[in-house]
Amino acid sequence: MLVGDADVTELLGFPAELLDTSLDQLRTLAVVHATGSAQRAARVLQRSQSSVQKQLDTLNDAAIRLMGEALVAKQGRGKDFLFTGSGEEAVALAVTTLRAWTARVHGARRRVGTTVTVGTTEFTVEFLGEVWPQLRETFERRGIQLKIEHVRTRDLKTKLDAEQVDLVCGSFASEHGRGPDVPHDFLEWHRERVALLTNLNTREVPDRPVARNALADLPLLTPTAGLLADFLTRWYGPEYRGRLHVVADIDSLNYGLNLLGSKLMFGCLLTTERVADAAIEGRLPGANLRKVELGAGYEPALEIVTGIFAREGERQRYAADHPLNLLWEAFAAASPAARTAQHEPAPTR
C-alpha cells in the first residue's frame, strides 16, 4: 500500500510511544547493541554516557508500555548489556529503517541534482581540477554542491556500488588494448605502463629493461593491496610474496618513496611511469632515484587504464543538465583523446 492510500484513521491511530521514538534514538540503540554498553557507545557517538543511558531508558519505558518487555538490560559491572527478544527485533528494525531512509535521501538528492559527490585518488584529483573551472559558475548559480571524497584505489568500486559517490576517477589493471571488465559506464582518460623506481646502483640494477625472471630476484618493496598488487598477483600468482624477494610491505606509495629516498631501505618499487617520472623530477618524495623499465616475459601484458566511472545507465535516467551529466560531459571534453581530436588537421579532399 502506498503512503498516499493509507487510511487517515490508521495514521491517527499509531501509538504515541511509537510516534515519540526518533531516528536518533534508534541509532543509539543500534550502536549500543554493536558496542555492548552505554559507555562504549557514548565514546563512539561522542556523547556523555548519561545521555546515552537516558535514551535507552526512554526506549525501554516505551517498549514496556507497547510490548510488555524492555529492550535492553544491564547485566552487572563489566558485562555487556543483555538485549531481549524484543530488543533484538527492535535493533534489526532500527538498522533497516535507518538504511532505508538514507537510501531514499541519497536517491532524492541525486534525482533533484542539488549535490554530486566525486571520489578521487591522490593521483586522479587533478582530473577534477581540470574540468571544475568551467563548471564552477553553473554549479554556484544553481546552488549545486560539489563534494569531493578521497578514495583509495582498492575501494573505488565498493564506494560506487554502495552509492556513496556518484562518479569516481580511478585506475585499474587491464590487458593491453582492452577496456574495463566491470558493469559501469567508463570514460577512458589515459593508459600507461608500470616501471621500477630504485635507489640501487647500476651494478646491482643495470639501466636496461628488467625481465620477469630478473624481477623476482631483486629486493622489492611490495604493496599490501590495490592496483599494483593486482599486477603482481596476475604475473606471479596469489602467493607472489613467496615467489619474490620482498624486503618490505608498504601500504602507501609515498611511504615507499620515502623509504627509498631516505635510504632506510634499499630496493625497487613497482609504480606507474607517471609516478616514476614525477619522483625523478622532484614533484613527489624520493631523492636520487632511478627509473628502470620492465622488459620481456610479463604475461599477461598489463597496463594501467585510468578514467571516469559511473553506475551503469544512471546518467540516462537524468536530464542533460543534471550535474552528473554536466560533470561527465566536461570530463569527456577534457580527456586527452578529445584534446587530440581537436588538434588533428582536417582531412584534405
Using one digit for the tens of pLDDT, what is the confidence trace for 169-205?
988 888 887 776 777 899 998 899 999 999 999 999 9
Using one digit for the tens of pLDDT, what is the confidence trace for 130-144?
999 999 999 999 989
pLDDT for 302:
92
pLDDT for 152:
86
Q: For the chain, how are helix, strand and coil distributed in percent, rounded to 5?
A: 45, 20, 30
pLDDT for 291:
96
User: Taking the C-alpha atoms of 148, 150, 152 and 155 in order, what is their torsion angle to the nearest 10 degrees?
Assistant: -50
Using one digit for the tens of pLDDT, what is the confidence trace for 114-127?
888 999 988 889 89
Low-confidence ranges of the chain (pLDDT < 50): 1-2, 348-349
pTM for the whole structure: 0.64
Cβ distance 23 to 101 under 8 Å? yes
pLDDT for 349:
46
Is the bond preceding 209 in cis, omega lying within 30 degrees of 0?
no
Residue 94's CB is within 10 A of a number of other CB atoms, namely 22
Paired residues of 293 in beta bridges: 195
Containing 239, the helix (H) or strand (E) segment is: none
Cβ distance 198 to 263 under 8 Å? no
pLDDT for 58:
94
pLDDT for 1:
45
User: Taking the C-alpha atoms of 74, 75, 76 and 80 in order, what is their torsion angle to the nearest 10 degrees?
Assistant: -80
